Structure 1
Amino acid sequence: MIGDDEYSISKGYSWLEQNYSHVQWQRSVWNRYNLSRHNFNQWIIQHGRLLTLKRLGTFGITQQSLCFLCGDNNETHQHLFHECIYVERCYQDLYQWLDVPSQFKGVTHPEKMLRKRGCSDFVRLVLISLIVALHYNIWNARNVCRLEGYVMQPVIQVKCIQRESKLRLMTISKGKLKRVDKQWCKQRVLM
């Protein structure tokens, strides 16, 4: 556009839309089945901006670096959502409830994981929203442990997710689902 003599609206839009890449995590953050607080938390996770102990240490705010949930490794994004024993147990409990193979551990980009599952868009979005809710609850459990000194059991985390997701699905998807999706929802989520 710069250097051209004539201006056109299409050239203007082309110039404005230059080389912006499509982000992989868009559907996990902006999913209508997510709660707003889950959206915000997932957005912060995707940008790597959670205030983990490693990040706080780089700002000179804290000297402590061990994970509050397991006490084994330094608390980083990688550890907190991929390597922590506590988080692995949370994923196992969530996948057991949903009857999903538990080979998926530490999912930061749930939409990539679910792309190849061969399920409907509704099921995919619900599963993504449940994983995003788990991310929120993991961060919440970490903060409870940091501030109050106790670790919530992974089973309690999954029960919180069950309760929240049932309420959310019942309000959003009344009468708008295909028969197959309703059946899946009754069997797995609303049971």
Structure 2
Amino acid sequence: MLDNKGYTVGSGYELVRQKFQAVKWNQCVWNGWCIPRHQFIGWLIARESLQLKMKLFQLGIAADDDDCLLCSNASETHKHLFQECTYGRRVFSEINNLCNMSIPMSNHMQWAGNGHVSRLQKGVLLCIVMAAYYHIWMQRNKARVEGCILKPDLLSNQIRREVQARINARLLPVTDRRDLDWLRSVKLYL
């Protein structure tokens, strides 16, 4: 590729590299507060790439139906499993109660990534949402393999403990006093 300056490596690279569409969820999934295994599941959810029963049923791989393994009330889609499923909604409701928060029942990633909160608060909120997604997905798999799942209150306690451990591991000694007070108010910092 020649321009008025001649060939450059940068202009050649721009010619051959693929152009990808920017995604809105990138910063929500790939942030330093989330646990890597949670980030991976969050990435698959954001891309709607999990192998859910509905996809497998449509491909002829799943057995008889495409019903949700956690509630059996609807087809198992990404939107249903992580926003509409009664089990998932109860898990988020329990997290709200435990952490004295108000996480909405839909658009969790968008909610956690928006708002006028500090960088630490945004990271913690995203950590909670990604942990909830991960554990709901694991319970779905447990229901598929073992035929049983944890009660939502037990699962939400497990999520809270995991998020608390992540916060304690990542928290810097020079953290702003307002952020520490907020962490104490949502019962995520000891």
The reply to whether TM is greater than 0.5 is: yes
SS at match of 1:113: helix
Aligned residue in 2 for 1:99: 100
SS at match of 1:100: coil
Aligned residue in 1 for 2:189: 190
Per the normalisation by structure 2, the TM-score is: 0.87
User: Contact (CA 8 Å) 1:137, 1:157: kept in 2 or not?
Assistant: yes
Aligned residue in 2 for 1:167: 165
Distance 1:39 1:126 in 2: 13
Aligned residues: 187
Q: Alpha-carbon deviations, 1:82-128, whole Å to 9, x = none? A: 211111111111222232234x11335x1x21355321111011101
Aligned residue in 2 for 1:71: 72
Distance 1:44 1:185 in 2: 29
Aligned residue in 1 for 2:122: 124
| Structure 2: runs of 5+ lacking an equivalent | none
**Identity rate, percent:** 28
SS at match of 1:135: helix
Letter in structure 1 aligned against 2:183 = C
SS at match of 2:172: coil
Letter in structure 2 aligned against 1:162 = R
| Structure 1: runs of 5+ lacking an equivalent | none
Whether 2:62 is the aligned partner of 1:58: answer no
Distance 1:91 1:34 in 2: 17
Distance 1:41 1:114 in 2: 16
Whether 2:37 is the aligned partner of 1:40: answer no
**Closer/same/farther in 2, CA of residues 95 and 62 from structure 1, 3 Å limit:** same
SS at match of 2:50: coil
Distance 1:16 1:133 in 2: 38
| CA deviation after TM superposition for structure 1 residue 151, in Å | 2.5
User: Contact (CA 8 Å) 1:53, 1:66: kept in 2 or not?
Assistant: yes
Per the normalisation by structure 1, the TM-score is: 0.87
Letter in structure 1 aligned against 2:127 = S
Larger mean CA deviation between 173-182 and 69-78 belongs to: 173-182
SS at match of 1:57: helix
Please tell me the root mean square deviation across aligned C-alpha atoms, in Å.
2.2
| CA deviation after TM superposition for structure 1 residue 29, in Å | 1.6
Larger mean CA deviation between 53-62 and 18-27 belongs to: 18-27
User: Contact (CA 8 Å) 2:48, 2:78: kept in 1 or not?
Assistant: yes
User: Contact (CA 8 Å) 1:28, 1:129: kept in 2 or not?
Assistant: no
**Closer/same/farther in 2, CA of residues 66 and 18 from structure 1, 3 Å limit:** closer
User: Contact (CA 8 Å) 1:53, 1:75: kept in 2 or not?
Assistant: yes
Letter in structure 1 aligned against 2:149 = V
Aligned residue in 2 for 1:133: 131
User: Contact (CA 8 Å) 2:54, 2:77: kept in 1 or not?
Assistant: yes
Aligned residue in 2 for 1:23: 23
**Closer/same/farther in 2, CA of residues 183 and 54 from structure 1, 3 Å limit:** same
| CA deviation after TM superposition for structure 1 residue 71, in Å | 0.8
Distance 1:30 1:159 in 2: 24
| CA deviation after TM superposition for structure 1 residue 172, in Å | 1.2
User: Contact (CA 8 Å) 2:34, 2:123: kept in 1 or not?
Assistant: no
